[in-house]
Structure 1
């Protein structure tokens, strides 16, 4: 397996500063959500904790929900899917791309991923948006598979992308239920292998 690829770092001083501000806002938001609850935390409190203005918050995140939902994982996974060998079957390509991407995320953002996933699963306002977010990710994964294998049956491609996301979501749910004591990469691999059975 190739070395994991972290999300591509932004180039240029302005882009790096923007990415750092965004990361600071997310970090401070997660701390506040943990200490006082998602519903009890305001955008103003998040902005103040991050040392930015209310308007700066909204330049980076259109809503409070977006602070939890937004990450750079999908583009990284799409790139990894597209880079899989063209002769690899789609499910194997998805499984290996996700394993490689998850290895990078787990090594650098494990705690933030656990907190964010727990918030999504336990907060009704966030849980209600899961389908919309998964639909967007499903489309990205299906497009990446189509790039690898032009002319593949579009319905089959979408079903494979949707099934993969369902397996991934189940693994994340089990991981949160274990309070992060289980190894997420192992859970994801087991869930995705179940699709081959």
Structure 2
């Protein structure tokens, strides 16, 4: 988490965020060195200088340590702070750009490594569907709140699913976390996918 996002938090909350970040950092280091399947929760806990029971207070499983996307709540918070007169898609794009701009080069590299790991481990790739459903619900709830619609309405869900699907559609093993491709995908989304018929 960027240091500026810790401003206003109490000492206990800051310590929790740093412990969580340390657990994830040590886990990703061990996954790179030993492999995901060969790394145990006990090894991660030892590297992070915590007990296994403390690990489980932060992450319900080794799988969730990788799958949970810390950028989602940051982007949704930024989305809700965008001016009310902005079109929904413009507000969403600005919130994405802000979240990515606030990332340090090290954070960007870590997120790329996380995405590559998910794509390279079949069990993580399969389990990512549940995480994507949570992302879609989070975005749909944010859209509904912004537009004064009831939570869970079908239009907000369809919009959120279409946006997430559009972005996922342009990311592949070569471009696991490409901001340029995400932006181009949203350009196509906004333009209604005007395919060149020539």
Normalised TM-score (structure 2): 0.85
Q: What does residue 158 of structure 1 align with?
A: 157
Indicate the structure whose relative CO is greater, using CA pairs within 8 Å and at least 6 residues apart.
1
Deviations 1:104-159 (A, max 9, x none): 23645111101100111111111111111111111111111112111389322211
Q: What does residue 186 of structure 1 align with?
A: 180
Answer yes or no: is the 8 Å Cα contact 2:167–2:185 preserved in 1: yes
Task: Compute the displacement of 1:169 (Å).
Answer: 2.5
Aligned residues: 188
Name the Cα RMSD after superposition.
2.3
For structure 2, list consecutive stretches of 5 or more residues without a partner in the other structure.
Answer: 192-198
Task: Compute the displacement of 1:97 (Å).
Answer: 1.6
- State yes or no: 1:177 paired with 2:171: no
- State yes or no: 1:97 paired with 2:85: no
For structure 1, list consecutive stretches of 5 or more residues without a partner in the other structure.
Answer: none
Aligned-partner SS, 1:195? helix
Answer yes or no: is the 8 Å Cα contact 2:75–2:95 preserved in 1: yes
Task: Compute the displacement of 1:179 (Å).
Answer: 7.3
Q: 1:151 to 1:61 in 2, by over 3 A?
A: closer
Aligned-partner SS, 2:190? coil
Q: What does residue 8 of structure 1 align with?
A: 5
Aligned-partner SS, 2:83? coil
Answer yes or no: is the 8 Å Cα contact 1:78–1:144 preserved in 2: yes
